[in-house]
Amino acid sequence: MTATLFNASEYLLDRRVQAGDGERLALTGPGGDVTYSQLLERVRRAAAALVDLGLQAEQRIVMFMADSPEFVTVYLAAMRIGAVPVPVSTMLYADGLAELLRDSRARLLALTPGFAEVGYAAASQAPELRGILVSGSGPLSEHSRSRSLAGASTGPRGSDGPVPVHNLDDVCAAAEPLSTVYPTIEDSPAFWLYTSGTTGTPKGAMHRHGSVRVVCETYGAQVLGIRPDDRTISAAKAFFAYGLGNSLLFPLAVGATAILEPAPSRPDTIAARAAECGATLFFAGPTFFAGMLRADLKRDALGGVRLAASAGEALPAALYRRWTEHFGVDILDGIGMTEMLHIFLSNREGQVRPGTTGVAVPGYDLRIVGENGRDLPDGEPGTLLVRGASTATGYWERYDASRLVFQGEWLRTGDTYVRDADGYYACLGRTGDMLKAGGIWVSPAEVETCLLAHDAVAQAVVVAATDPDGLEKPVAFVVRNAGHDVGERELIEFCQRRLPSFKRPRRISFVSSYPTTATGKVRRVELRAAAAVALSAPETAS
């Protein structure tokens, strides 16, 4: 039986032009306005250029690129020819990027000018790399402009000599638009996304072409409710799963407009861009939402936004209430994973229950299991498992890790959840973040929620630390609200009045911010090291 042809690039782009959306705006922002027809022309030319450069089906092209029209063009063009785009974090240093180039055995590396220097340094450590594409203008890309495809300029030296450097604009302009699309099917490899690797080596999650349609027609259509007249803006960058959906997959799937912000995400920058470009949907994570409140933005700073979405880590109820009361925009908190491509559990518009992650997204099934792998009843915490058609096929060359996470039809999230009688799920933290104090399990999220109920507390993160007796105790790291000078003793006593004694934090450290991953998640492993030091230090009044 012959499988039906399906290519994610055609689904996101050609389908829209064929539906009459050619003159609609697909992309906007500092990189300029691009209509759907213009984007299709660019993608066809880029696809031809990639073929001319020798990129073949299922070979990888690593994308070390800012959110920009060039990012979208390279991503769609690679999938169009059956190749595998691999967007990676632009926060990497040269050694980290080189590790991913080697691990993926990438044939090409695509760069935007601001990251070209790091890309050059990494390329010299990647023996299988056969070429570099640099987009736009800048010192390095101007150097590469000196010769076109017929005689590319030379860049860093690899094991077989200089790695050719090509200017993306030039090679695309010289190419004849490619009219054909590689005959992929839904199960064909489409793109990879590397996990953050904060607790081990990075792992490439391999996604199918069909997964793009799945997330667009489940979360995108049925939960987010994205419409053709929407304009999306995301604090989360497109190099990881959450941002990729927000800034590329969802808007293109329905003929909406993506606002692409190439600069690092800051509250004032995002708010200004949202106002300038007329954003209606806003995506971020809890840490960024808290930062927006601390930035003293005006109440109408997001006046045109009709809905916000949150993912990456649980959104505390107190933070939800402060943010929605200040900006007047509702937030749909949800959870997604790189391995699932996007959000599979979420609150719904008009049905938000603060402090929960909502209910299963249509098309996904959930289970909460105990240590023995058996399903647990409502009210009992356990590890969350998910099943859905957007699941990655596994990790590239990580057999043991794949078997641990991908368990038959089910994927083990590594998050501890509890479900109530109404079917709403509440996150209690990462399974490995749970701690035992006094022989009883304690959820860091519960202690964090208590701390956030204090007017002086803007953010709170609780981790486990071992005291001098070798026993685990909760330690909190708190960011104060502006204008408040609460002390450690006051906050501990505040918790004592609201929590059982074994749950109260034994120490509280005041910080201005938290160490975070590229996706904005708090790096709890670093805080645990600091917490151990804090437990042995004398208590202070503030």
Alpha-carbon span 122 to 106, nearest angstrom: 12
The residue assigned the tokens 């991953």 is 517
pLDDT mean across residues, the chain: 90
Alpha-carbon span 439 to 471, nearest angstrom: 9
Q: What is the pLDDT at residue 85?
A: 98
pLDDT at 153 over 60: no
Percent of the chain past pLDDT 90, that is, above it, reads 73
Burial of 79 (0-12, 13-18, 19+ CB in 10 A): buried
Secondary-structure breakdown of the chain: helix, strand, coil percentages, each rounded to the nearest 5? 35, 25, 40
Alpha helices in 53-106 (DSSP H): 69-80, 94-104
Count H helices, E strands: the chain?
Answer: 18, 27
Of the candidates 137, 87, 89, 131, the one whose C-alpha atom is nearest the C-alpha of residue 112 is 137
Q: What is the pLDDT at residue 502?
A: 77
Task: Indicate left, alpha or beta for 60 from its phi (over 0: left) and psi (-120 to 50: alpha).
Answer: beta
Q: What is the pLDDT at residue 141?
A: 46
Of the candidates 263, 315, 317, 235, the one whose C-alpha atom is nearest the C-alpha of residue 519 is 235
Burial of 429 (0-12, 13-18, 19+ CB in 10 A): buried
What is the bridge-based pairing of β-strands 189-194 and 204-208?
antiparallel
Task: Indicate left, alpha or beta for 106 from its phi (over 0: left) and psi (-120 to 50: alpha).
Answer: beta
CATH (residue range 8-194): 3.40.50.980
Secondary structure (3-state) at 376:
coil
Q: What is the pLDDT at residue 498?
A: 85
Secondary structure (3-state) at 302:
coil
Alpha-carbon span 427 to 415, nearest angstrom: 7
> For the chain, how many residues are written?
542
Average of pLDDT values for 155-168? 76
pLDDT at 142 over 50: no
Q: Which of 157-161, 229-233, 273-277, 376-380 has the lowest mean pLDDT?
A: 157-161
Q: Which of 125-134, 383-392, 493-502, 531-540 has the lowest mean pLDDT?
A: 531-540
Residue 170 pLDDT grade (very low, low, confident, very high; cuts 50, 70, 90): very high
Q: Give 351-357's long-range contacts (Cβ < 8 A, gap of 24+).
A: 352/320, 353/424, 354/315, 354/317, 354/320, 354/321, 355/316, 355/317, 355/320, 355/426, 355/449, 356/420, 356/424, 356/425, 356/426, 357/314, 357/333, 357/417, 357/424, 357/425, 357/426, 357/427
pLDDT tens-digit series, residues 185-216: 999 999 999 986 433 568 999 999 999 999 99
Domain residue extents for the chain: 8-194, 207-430, 434-536
Q: What is the pLDDT at residue 431?
A: 73
Structure tokens at 223: 């939960």
Percent of the chain past pLDDT 70, that is, above it, reads 91
Q: Domain 434-536: which topology? A: GMP Synthetase; Chain A, domain 3 (3.30.300)
Alpha-carbon span 259 to 246, nearest angstrom: 10
pLDDT at 94 over 80: yes
Q: Which of 6-15, 497-506, 515-524 has the lowest mean pLDDT?
A: 515-524
pLDDT at 540 over 80: no
Q: Which residues, in sequence order, are CB contacts of 364 under 8 Å at separation 6+?
A: 218, 344, 345, 386, 387, 388
Put simply, whether the predicted model's pTM sits higher than 0.75 gets the answer yes
Of the candidates 245, 244, 239, 232, the one whose C-alpha atom is nearest the C-alpha of residue 273 is 232
Residue type, 76: L
pLDDT at 450 over 60: yes
Backbone angles phi, psi at 210, to 5 degrees: -65, -25
Of the candidates 185, 180, 189, 213, the one whose C-alpha atom is nearest the C-alpha of residue 7 is 185
CATH second-level architecture of 207-430?
Answer: 3-Layer(aba) Sandwich (3.40)
Of the candidates 294, 285, 251, the one whose C-alpha atom is nearest the C-alpha of residue 265 is 285
Residue 480 pLDDT grade (very low, low, confident, very high; cuts 50, 70, 90): very high
Alpha helices in 53-186 (DSSP H): 69-80, 94-104, 116-123, 139-144, 168-174
Task: Return the C-alpha torsion angle 335, 340, 342, 348, nearest 10.
Answer: -50
Q: What is the pLDDT at residue 470?
A: 65
CB 281 within 8 A of CB 309: yes
* Identical fold, 207-430 and 434-536: no
Residue type, 517: T
CA torsion through residues 204, 210, 216, 221, sign: negative
pLDDT at 403 over 60: yes
